[in-house]
A and B are shown apart, each in its own frame.
Chain A
Amino acid sequence: MIIRSSDEVSRTTVLKRFPVPRNFGVDAASRIDRGRTWPAPRGATRIKRFDVYRYDPQSGQNPRIDTYQVDLDDCGPMVLDVLIWIKNTVDPSLTFRRSCREGVCGSCAMNIDGTNWLACTKFNADLATPATIYPLANMRIIKDLVPDLTHLFAQHRLVEPWLRSKSPEPERERLQSPQERAQLDGLYECILCFCCTSGCPSHWWNGDRFLGPAVLLQATRWLVDSRDEATGERLDELEDPFRLYRCHTILNCTRTCPKGLNPGKAIADVKKMLIERRS
Chain B
Amino acid sequence: MSSARMRSPLGRALGLGSARDGVDAWWRERVSAVALVPLTAWLTVSILMRADKGYAAVVAWLKLPITTTLMTLLLIALFYHTALGLQVVIEDYVHSRIKIPVLVGMHLGCVALGVAGLVAVLKIALA
Contact (A154, B93) CB under 8 Å given A239-B20, A240-B18, A240-B20: no
Q: Is residue A158 contacting chain B, with contact meaning CB distance below 8 A?
A: yes
Contact (A238, B18) CB under 8 Å given A151-B9, A202-B92, A245-B25: yes
Residues of B within 8 A of A151 (CB): 9, 12-13
Could you tell me if B22 and A245 are in contact, using CB atoms closer than 8 angstroms?
yes
Q: Is residue A248 contacting chain B, with contact meaning CB distance below 8 A?
A: yes
Using a CB-CB cutoff of 8 Å, which residues 1-49 of chain B contact chain A?
8-10, 12-15, 18-23, 25-27
Contact (A205, B9) CB under 8 Å given A243-B18, A245-B25: no
Residues of B within 8 A of A208 (CB): 12, 15
Could you tell me if A241 and B20 are in contact, using CB atoms closer than 8 angstroms?
no
Could you tell me if B18 and A237 are in contact, using CB atoms closer than 8 angstroms?
yes
Could you tell me if B18 and A150 are in contact, using CB atoms closer than 8 angstroms?
no
Could you tell me if A275 and B27 are in contact, using CB atoms closer than 8 angstroms?
yes
Partner of B26 from the list A158, A206, A243, A271 (CB cut-off 8 Å) is: A271
Could you tell me if B9 and A153 are in contact, using CB atoms closer than 8 angstroms?
yes
Q: Is residue A108 contacting chain B, with contact meaning CB distance below 8 A?
A: no
Residues of A within 8 A of B18 (CB): 236-240, 243
Residues of B within 8 A of A154 (CB): 8-10, 12-13
Could you tell me if B92 and A206 are in contact, using CB atoms closer than 8 angstroms?
yes
Residues of B within 8 A of A38 (CB): none
Partner of B88 from the list A209, A236, A239, A248 (CB cut-off 8 Å) is: A248
CA of A242 to CA of B21, assembled, Å: 10
CA of A230 to CA of B49, assembled, Å: 57
Query: Whose C-beta in chain B lies nearest to the C-beta of A201?
Result: B92
Residues of B within 8 A of A205 (CB): 92-93, 95
CA of A243 to CA of B26, assembled, Å: 13
Query: Whose C-beta in chain B lies nearest to the C-beta of A274?
Result: B23
Residues of A within 8 A of B8 (CB): 154
Query: Whose C-beta in chain A lies nearest to the C-beta of B23?
Result: A274
Partner of A158 from the list B10, B25, B92 (CB cut-off 8 Å) is: B10
Residues of B within 8 A of A155 (CB): 13
Could you tell me if A241 and B91 are in contact, using CB atoms closer than 8 angstroms?
yes
Query: Whose C-beta in chain A lies nearest to the C-beta of B25?
Result: A241
Could you tell me if B92 and A245 are in contact, using CB atoms closer than 8 angstroms?
no
Using a CB-CB cutoff of 8 Å, which residues 226-244 of chain A contact chain B?
236-244
Chain A: residues with CB nearer than 8 A to chain B? 150-151, 153-155, 157-158, 202, 205-206, 208-209, 236-246, 248, 271, 274-275, 278
Q: Which 4 interchain pairs have the tightest Cβ spacing?
A: A154-B9, A154-B13, A241-B22, A245-B22
